[in-house]
């Protein structure tokens, strides 16, 4: 759905635009996520982000392109691994104030935080 704005006075409110854009955003999110629940979550998160920056989005040449890019970025950020850190695996707990010595070849392994 395309919506062109001729002037700022003609611009729809966020609520109006969100109602018009929802079906398209949801379909696009479903194509990415391949899951109805995830697609709905991604589309809702996108609209929450859009609400916060609506003053900038409503004045853009193509608000739908802006929203689709936000949706894509939201999807990709959810798919990214949360982070990794190295852990030293030992039988005994570490001594207080003692930093472990070593590296990947000395008993370290990569684990999720």
What residue spans define the domains of the chain? 11-79, 85-113
Helix/strand/coil for 106: helix
Q: Which CATH architecture has domain 11-79?
A: Orthogonal Bundle (1.10)
Q: How far is the C-alpha of 103 from the C-alpha of 110, rounded, in Å?
A: 11
* Main-chain dihedrals φ then ψ at residue 110, nearest 5 degrees: -90, 130
Q: How confident is the model at residue 71 (pLDDT cuts 50, 70, 90)?
A: very high
Judge whether 63 and 47 are in contact, CB under 8 Å: no
pLDDT at 73 over 80: yes
Instruction: Write the CB contacts of 83 (distance below 8 Å, at least 6 apart in sequence).
Output: 112, 113
So what's the pLDDT on residue 81? 75
Mean pLDDT, residues 1-26 taken together:
77
Angle between helices 36-52 and 14-33 (to 10 degrees): 140
How much is the pTM? 0.63
């Amino acid at each position: 759905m395309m919506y062109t704005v001729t002037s700022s006075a003609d611009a729809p409110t966020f609520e109006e635009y969100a109602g018009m854009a929802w079906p398209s955003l949801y379909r696009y999110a479903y194509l990415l996520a391949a899951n109805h629940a995830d697609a709905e979550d991604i589309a809702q998160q996108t609209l929450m982000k859009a609400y916060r920056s609506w003053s900038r989005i409503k004045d853009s040449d193509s608000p739908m392109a802006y929203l689709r890019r936000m949706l894509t970025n939201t999807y990709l950020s959810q798919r990214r691994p949360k982070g990794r850190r190295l852990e030293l695996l030992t039988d005994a707990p570490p001594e207080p104030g003692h930093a472990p010595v070593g590296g990947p070849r000395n008993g370290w392994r990569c684990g999720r935080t």
